[in-house]
Structure 1
Amino acid sequence: MISRLLELFHASEGDSNVKIIILKGNGRAFCAGGDVTTIVRNICHGNSKWVADYPRQEFTLNYVMAIYSKPQVSILNGIVMRGGLSASVHGRFRVATEKSVCAMPETALGLVPDASYFYSRLPGFFGKYAGLTGARLDGVEMLACDLATHFVPSERLPYLEQALAKVNTSDPDVISAIISRFSNIPKLKAKSPYHKMKIIDHCFSRRTIEEIISSLENCEALNKKDEYWISSTIQSLKKASPTSLKISLKSIRDGRLQGVGSCLIREYRMACHVYRGEFSIDFFEGCRAILIDKDRNSKWEPSRLELITYDDVDRYFSKIDDEDWQDLKLPPRSNLPPYAIAKL
């Protein structure tokens, strides 16, 4: 799918008949991400070239979407997880519905979310909360935190697509106005984590995972009204891979000061380190516990946050010591629209 999308994006770039790209899923999901168990099987069978090529193509596609000269409209009607979020958020327009559910639950799998560019730019410290806990957000929450640009009820989508199909311009203002005709701004649910921004900003602004958890525990003791939500957040962090948590925190923090290309190059290194299992096999253990055996009882190694040093974390950000391995090479930029230039 990634290879085919790259072909279509490249072919459409120079086609004057193509004004916009409309991307949508086929069924109950927009895209739930790549098949992680396939990655594990290829690693176990020694297919290291495929393991490096897969994230290389995926991250190249994300970059092409981010700098594309024509607006991309992603219709996020259903599940939008892992790679599905990356394949939409980098585009110009993201249309959520009441059926949208997005998340990057990578830390529970021993992975790292390839989301440091856009998670670092969410309001306050909401991106750190979402990235570290893997929290599931609905369509209204996606709109509130800017992961979506519009909210359109699912029954209006056929009419929206008909209107977009008639577009004869790449002017983003015109396209935005068309989508807005079918949009509304619904209210957040009473229990939405977006209502917990004061707690999130207070706790997830801390420098380390240990300090984040400690701050949440202090808030839990003092805040009976939000006790259940705080407790669930603490448990999500404690069940995740300690290594993934520490790497992800640094990645999202670094992403705030980097352009989209730099973020993707760094995330490619991190993904390759994780897949190669050089420093930790948490990825394989997370897949076993959640996707294969499904006992949801991951045995992480190291098992505790305090056993992971700054040097351990920094290794995931370094080039891979292998003469056959290369850094991610991104395609050249040309004819960039203003909204793409802003990402660089």
Structure 2
Amino acid sequence: MSEILTKLSAQGVSIWLDTISRERLRSGNLAALVRDRNVVGVTSNPTIFAAALSEGDAYDEQLHDLRVRGVGVGEALRAITTYDIRWACDVLRPVHDATGGVDGRVSIEVDPHLAKDTGSTVAEARALWWLVDRPNLFIKIPATVEGLPAITAALAEGISVNVTLIFSLERYLAVLDAWLSGLEAAKAKGLDLSRIASVGSFFVSRVDTEVDRRLEAVGAEGLAGRAGVANARLAHAVFDEVMRSPRWQALGAAGARPQRPLWASTGTKNPAYSPTLYVDDLITAGVVNTMPEKTLDAAAAQATVDGDTVRPFYKDAMKTMAALEQAGIDYADVVRVLEEEGVAKFQASWNEVIDTVSVALDKA
């Protein structure tokens, strides 16, 4: 077991793996990462499933059976993905039990084509919750304007939610409001709040990619590689403020769990940056860092774990964002573009998965 990852976990950072595949489950690799690399959760998305389905033969037998039964492509895709997620939930169940339900979580995303459709998102969240049928499941719902009421509705029914594709501080505050509203509705229904969990997935590296591109265009490269961490640190400041609110205090007293901040997109896109940039600079108690395996390996070998690198740096983060504004970076436009691109990328990956399954069914 990596001493560095053990130190990171001891600092209160939950290490989740940002990938899944049938082969990883079948080979015991995921169980080994839980045992040896401090992995206590798994996230998935359409891009991850597109990659998993395009490689190897792990899905061949199930695809054959689905074809023989005459199952349509959409239903086949759900059968395949929920099978993997259910299996991963079972692998992580001991972690879930040992941590009292804090960790051991596995996420599956609603169809990203529903990102602008509140009612359909809620219906799919219900369906996925029923299909997987595991207490350590998270349903991923995007933080679009239309996704906010869906987040509230799902939580109000006792469905645990991973809110994904959060980029802006303003939207993050709206996500937290939607989460609190969902818990308040669940409480009014008499549900056990301690059984409802949530994380808010705040994306990091994509912010740097977009901001750095704009900095280069205006000749202000000296500020490159600083926006992603600063934005995430300020998001945590928003979280801290909400945790001090009377609204949360009342829910916490009723047994509710905090919606933990989750750092997503933590693999560095720029090779000039340290591969552990979004690990080293986002350490604080009570957060999740979901890492691609490449980032996990880099963190195990070379991450710098030396105390809290979030809360003591709120003021520094504000200065960085002010400097970016002075350099001509339009923050509102950056986060708008990132949300639109994020939804579009997941939709494209979903289409790729559909095409892959369709072709595989024909061949099976």
- Structure with the higher fraction of residues in helix conformation: 2
Query: Do both proteins adopt the same fold according to a TM-score greater than 0.5, normalized to the shorter chain?
Result: no
Q: What is the TM-score normalised by the length of structure 1?
A: 0.30
Q: What is the TM-score normalised by the length of structure 2?
A: 0.29
